[in-house]
């Protein structure tokens, strides 16, 4: 089937599960838009019609339309073996420049105060290290180095590894969390399981690594997954929706009127680092941005009012 070939091509090129899910979704929408016609029977004209419909009728953002285009280019190039020609006639979504939502330090304290236990630590890590939500949830035991005060982010956005700071203030809570995770791991071992999913093909290269302590999740899921057909059990990391709901409740309880999400902690980390005098290149490295221009957006949201100038009315 076409979708099976699409997934195989994505897996062969080491695309992330989220990329696979998004690309397959766009291919299905493309096929449905054209009345269930097979993509091999369509080409540039049909792609133009679909992308234009997204921009004009659905009013999607630039990034959404670009993702749809990338999915279709991938389909034709790597699955159908056809190179797409000029798409100059497509109507592109209007690009808008939006500043990230950033909390003040008091707002961060208020939101964190409304979180308990693991959720507090997850949110504190995102704010204290600049981790994305999924990067935080996917931290494994061996990614934490207490002696060097650093956390290694494996296979982050764009398939890149990086190192970020481990805050001193979070060390005690993180050590408590590791003790909890180890007790969960030990119980799984006693029950005859204790294996986690490994990246890429490491489970074949190192057959016993999945049951080693260093590969376990720092934030394990509450319940083991169960494959009744294969007769196997394992444990994923905590699910992102649970953290998102907890943060949403805490924001509401704190009375913060801004549109705060888990990613807002990352934005706040970068902005507050700039306020503290750290240079933009250092923050770029900690965030894992490919270009410093991406990091530069935080210079526009510094809590200094306007462009850092003093209003004449303040001199009255």
Report pLDDT digits (tens) over 187-203: 988 888 888 888 877 77
Distance, in Å, from the CA atom of 55 to the CA atom of 95, rounded to the nearest integer, reads 11
CATH tag, 2-79? 1.10.150.130
Query: Which CATH topology does 105-300 take?
Result: hpI Integrase; Chain A (1.10.443)
Among 119, 132, 138, 272, which one carries the catalytic annotation? 132
Task: Give yes or no for residue 310 having a pLDDT over 70.
Answer: no
**Alpha carbon distance 195, 208 (integer Å):** 9
- What residues have CB less than 8 Å from 262, skipping those under 6 apart? 123, 126, 133, 240, 243, 244, 247
157, 162, 180, 236: the catalytic one is 157
CB-hemisphere CA count at 13 Å for 2? 18
Active site residue 23: no
Q: What share of the chain is helix, strand, coil (3-state, %, to 5)?
A: 55, 5, 35
Q: How confident is the model at residue 313 (pLDDT cuts 50, 70, 90)?
A: low
Mean pLDDT of 44-49: 90
CB 102 within 8 A of CB 241: no
User: Is 132 a residue of the active site?
Assistant: yes
Q: Is the separation of the CB atoms in 147 and 287 below 8 Å?
A: no
Tokens of 313: 């009315």
Residue with tokens 């923050």: 283
In 3D space, the residue among 134, 173, 181, 176 whose CA is nearest the CA of residue 153 turns out to be 134
305/11: higher pLDDT? 11
CA distances 83 to 76, 77, 149, Å, are 6, 5, 48
Helices and strands (H, E) in the chain, number of each type: 13, 5
Q: Which of 36, 22, 1, 17 is nearest to 74 (CA)?
A: 22
Q: If you average pLDDT over residues 5-22, what whole number do you get?
A: 88
The single-letter DSSP state of residue 158 is G
Could you say which of 263, 278, 300, 310 is catalytic? Answer: 263
pLDDT at 192: 85
pLDDT in tens, 89-112: 777 766 666 788 999 999 999 999
Annotation marks residue 157 as catalytic: yes
Give the pLDDT of residue 41. 93
Non-local (6+) Cβ contacts of 210 within 8 A are 195, 196, 197, 198, 203, 234
The secondary structure of 227-272 as a DSSP string is ETTTTEEE--BPPHHHHHHHHHHHHHHHT--S---HHHHHHHHHHH
- Report the alpha-carbon distance of residue 97 to residue 221 in Å, rounded: 37
Retrieve residue 304's tokens. Answer: 């200094």
Give me the mean pLDDT over the 292-299 stretch. Answer: 82
- State the catalytic residue, choosing from 140, 235, 266, 267: 266
Q: What is the mean pLDDT of residues 134-153?
A: 95
Catalytic residue among 23, 30, 127, 298: 298
Domain coordinates of the chain in residue numbers? Answer: 2-79, 105-300
Q: 């941005």: which residue's tokens?
A: 289
First to last CA, the chain: 73
| C-alpha to C-alpha distance for 145 and 105, rounded to whole angstroms | 27
How many C-beta neighbours within 10 Å does residue 184 have? Answer: 17
Active-site residue, 298 included: yes
Distance CA 42, CA 80 (A): 11
Containing 164, the helix (H) or strand (E) segment is strand 162-165
Compute the distance between CA of residue 99 and CA of residue 106 in angstroms, rounded to an integer.
20
What mean pLDDT is predicted for residues 261-287? 91
């Amino acid at each position: 089937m076409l979708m099976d070939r699409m997934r195989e091509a994505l897996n062969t090129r080491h695309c992330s599960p989220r990329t696979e899910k998004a690309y397959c979704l766009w291919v299905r929408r493309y096929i449905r838009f054209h009345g269930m016609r097979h993509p091999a029977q369509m080409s540039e004209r049909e792609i133009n019609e679909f992308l234009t419909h997204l921009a004009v009728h659905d009013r999607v953002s630039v990034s959404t339309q670009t993702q749809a285009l990338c999915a279709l280019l991938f389909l034709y190039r790597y699955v159908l073996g056809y190179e797409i020609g000029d798409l100059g006639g497509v109507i592109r979504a209007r690009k808008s420049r939006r500043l990230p939502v950033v909390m003040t330090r008091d707002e961060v304290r208020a939101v964190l105060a409304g979180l308990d236990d693991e959720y507090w630590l997850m949110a504190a890590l995102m704010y204290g290290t600049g981790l994305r939500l999924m990067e935080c949830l996917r931290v494994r035991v061996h990614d934490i180095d207490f002696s060097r005060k650093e956390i290694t982010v494996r296979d982050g956005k764009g398939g890149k590894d990086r190192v970020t700071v481990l805050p001193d203030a979070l060390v005690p809570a993180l050590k408590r969390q590791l003790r909890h995770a180890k007790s969960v791991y030990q119980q799984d071992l006693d029950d005859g399981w204790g294996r986690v999913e490994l990246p890429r093909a490491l489970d074949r290269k190192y057959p016993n690594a999945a049951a080693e302590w260093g590969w376990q999740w720092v934030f394990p899921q509450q319940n083991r997954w169960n494959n009744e057909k294969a007769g196997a059990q394992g444990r994923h990391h905590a699910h992102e929706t649970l953290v998102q709901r907890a943060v949403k409740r805490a924001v509401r309880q704190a009375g913060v009127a801004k549109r705060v999400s888990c990613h807002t902690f990352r934005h706040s980390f970068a902005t507050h680092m700039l306020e503290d005098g750290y240079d933009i290149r250092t923050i770029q490295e900690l965030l894992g941005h490919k270009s410093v221009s991406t990091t530069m957006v935080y210079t526009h949201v510094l809590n200094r009012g306007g462009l850092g100038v003093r209003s004449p009315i303040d001199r009255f």
